[in-house]
Amino acid sequence: MPVFEFAERLKQLPPYLFKEIDRVKDEVKARGVDIIDLGVGDPDLPTPDFIIAALQQAVLDPGTHRYPSYSGMNDFREAVARWYQCRFGVTLDPEREVVTLIGSKEGIAHLPLAFNNPGEVNLATSPAYPVYHIGTMFAGAQTHFLPLLAENSFLPDLTQISGEVARQAKLFFFNYPNNPTAAVADLDFFTRVADFCREHHIIAVHDAAYTEMAYDGYRPPSFLQVPGAKEGGIEFHSLSKTYNMTGWRLGFAVGQADVIEGLGKIKSNIDSGAFNAIQYAGIAALDSDQSCIVENCRILQERRDTLIAGLQKLGYRVEAPKATFYVWLATPTGIGSAQFTSLLLEQAGIVTTPGNGFGAPGEGYVRLALTVSRSRLEEALARLARLG
Ligand SMILES: *Cc1c(COP(=O)(O)O)cnc(C)c1O
């Protein structure tokens, strides 16, 4: 028995599925194996120099050392509005329709505290980023999972949601381009979600973390491009993947003014906002010519092409993702996610993430992240070839 008992909400946390992988990883490492880590969704490429320079300059100004404003400095929210206008053609009121976040995970986790009462239901796709479900649970609400299946191009089938669930639902979390499946959604799908949410008075919550990581000239849309969507929901975006800034902790939510206000109210009672100097660096990133994104995608696309071509040559049936830096790989017939993950680690020194770690419908897949150089991917492919 622990000296101090955890609260029920911690006891309800799902078992940590990566514990066994971490154990095997340490064991393989101790054997002196050179590990190729394709497990974590964290860019290996550095933050562009001009963004670092903007931080260096901002941090010298003592004005940035004080408490930030709760909803984010006006200049940053205005830069977000300019970026949305330029990138998506969506007009935002920086005052009422934008809130600065300490990374989008923070905002996603806090949103249910603003809108859910205990016992309520939120909808979330599955497999998914775990924060939708855990934020919901911490607010005392429950998640109704919508499975993402290959036969539906990893889009949820809205016609499978019963009238009763739709009536109870408060928030609907979805994410395209998608982590972990790398699936993309078009405006037609977003329109169906917007209509569904409007009909059932549900707040649409789109996680748009990967809209800037796309290939072959494809430009993923914003949910807010759907006419009227801005009145029915919000969208989260983050500088983490877009500008290789995961460690900096800077993101934002945009959309329906009352939803933004509710999230802001929770935040103003819990945190005190993002460091102003980091917000200045964020402005430099958002106001830049965005050529750093083009260069980033060029590197990731080369890696993608190397990995996909190599996997296909080895007989894996896998398609090149149009966006994200993930490859969602079906496991060989008769081998489950956990077993395939262990096999790759123990026999090839390759770390992947088991698909079922993101939710039960992810069983039968592993997720590979394009977070190592091309030569390391070639080494991984050579090891796979030796495995047979
Ligand atoms: C990486 C990621 C984020 C971004 O998280 P930050 O807290 O902004 O670093 C959000 N959603 C998904 C699905 C992600 O994979």
pLDDT digits (tens, 9 = 90+) for 262-283: 999 999 999 999 999 999 999 9
Task: Give dist(CA 174, CA 204) in Å, integer.
Answer: 8
According to the model, what pLDDT value does residue 17 have?
65
Task: Give dist(CA 296, CA 299) in Å, integer.
Answer: 5
According to the model, what pLDDT value does residue 249 have?
98
Regions of the chain where pLDDT drops below 50: none
The answer to whether 325 and 43 are in contact (CB under 8 A) is yes
Task: Give dist(CA 80, CA 124) in Å, integer.
Answer: 26
According to the model, what pLDDT value does residue 38 have?
96
For the stretch 149-191, pLDDT in tens is: 999 999 999 999 999 999 999 999 999 999 999 999 999 999 9
Q: CB of 324 closer than 6 A to ligand 1? A: no
Q: With the CA atoms of 94, 96, 97 and 99 taken in that order, what torsion angle do they form, in degrees rounded to the nearest 10?
A: 80
Domains (range + CATH), the chain: 15-44+291-387 (3.90.1150.10), 49-286 (3.40.640.10)
Q: CB of 240 closer than 6 A to ligand 1? A: yes
Query: Which residue among 40, 102, 134, 207 is best mutated to probe the pocket of ligand 1, counting the most ligand atoms within 8 A of its Cβ?
Result: 207
CA 9-122-270 angle, 5° bins: 50
SS3 85: helix
Tally of helices (H runs) and strands (E runs) in the chain: 14, 12
Q: What is the DSSP string of 129-198?
A: -THHHHHHHHTT-EEEEEE--GGGTT---GGGS-HHHHHHEEEEEEESS-TTT-----HHHHHHHHHHHH
According to the model, what pLDDT value does residue 151 have?
97
> Does residue 177 have a cis peptide bond before it, meaning omega lies within 30 degrees of 0?
yes
Q: CB of 179 closer than 6 A to ligand 1? A: yes
Q: What's the gap in Å between 238 CA and the centre of ligand 1?
A: 7
Atom of ligand 1 nearest to the CA of 251: 8
Q: CB of 175 closer than 6 A to ligand 1? A: yes
According to the model, what pLDDT value does residue 87 have?
98
